Every structure is written in C-alpha cells, then in structure tokens.
Amino acid sequence: MQSLKNIWFFLILAILMYGCGVYSFTGASIPPQAQTFSVAHFPNNAQLVQPTLSQVFTDALKDKFSRQTNLRFTNGVGDLHFEGSITGYNVQPQAIGADDRAAQNRLTVTVRVTFVNEHEPENDFEQSFSRFYDYPSTRSLAEIENQAIEAITEALVEDIFNRAVVNW
C-alpha cells in the first residue's frame, strides 16, 4: 500500500513539474514565463549549395521545439528565438586506400546559430555547429545525399536544442 502511495506521489509531482514549465521529460529547462519560440529561415550561404538543405534544416529545428517543449511557435520573435545560416556544405576524402584513392568520403554541414532567450539573456549564444556523415567512395554523393542530410540535420538540431535549453 505504501509503494502505491509513493507511485502516486511521484506521478503527481512529475505532472506538476512538467505542467509548470520547470522541467520537461526531455531534460529541457525552459523559463516558466516563456510561452513562444521562433525560428527564422536559415539561408544556405555555403560555397556549395544543396537546394533543399535550408528548408529541411529550418523545419527540423521548428519540429524539435514543437514536439519536445510546451512552447508555441510564432512567426514573429518568440521568447526563445533562433536565427542563423548554413555556412558550410562540403565533401572531402576521409580515408585513403592502398591504391592512393579515397576509400571513404565525408559530407560535413556547418550551421551558424544565434540564440536569444528573452527571459534569461545569460543563456544567449552565437555559435557554429558542425556534423558529418561518412560514406564509401564507391557510392556517389547523389546516392547518399538525402540519407546523409537527414542524419546530419537530426544531429545538428539535437546539438542546438541541448545547447539552448538543456542545462545539465
């Protein structure tokens, strides 16, 4: 009977903490007075431009905050605001084989992010984030590009989310 009371106590406590915006189950620590977030379009300013990357990245960042926080998206400037640009998109050989040819290539994407927290300005930042995807040189970039962009975008968005609202 005591363990049932303990379970109810912790369940109610967790619901109250989540509902107040003090804590979320993703580990996000968002100011209770924050109600909205905004994400400006991230233009692709890299030397090599992948046409869909800008929209894919911008949408992924919006989706992450919509799914993992109780904040509302706004088209204006939200309580938490993200802006920036894609500054790098390049492919380089990563591993050289016995015949002096690339055995593996690496696609790297770099994003410059400016984050503004209207309620906790000490958490504002401007930072570059970079992630990569390695693939065998026997495959062309066109063959792996969609899969690589999806994996890189997911990792970049997770890094940005953690930097902005997960204060471990």
pLDDT at 23: 42
Which residue segments constitute the domains of the chain, with CATH numbers given?
35-165 (3.30.160.150)
Q: Give tens-digit pLDDT for 111-136.
A: 999 999 999 999 999 999 999 999 99
**Average pLDDT estimate for 13-23:** 46
Of 10 and 56, more confident: 56
pLDDT-derived band at 3 (thresholds 50, 70, 90) equals low
Mean pLDDT value across the chain: 86
pTM across the whole model: 0.81
**Read out DSSP for the chain?**
-HHHHHHHHHHHHHHHHHHTTS--TT-----TT--EEEE----B-SSSPPTTHHHHHHHHHHHHHHHHSSPEE-SS--SEEEEEEEEEEEEEEEEE-TTSSEEEEEEEEEEEEEEEESS-GGG-EEEEEEEEEEEETTS-HHHHHHHHHHHHHHHHHHHHHHHHH---
State the pLDDT at residue 31.
Answer: 86
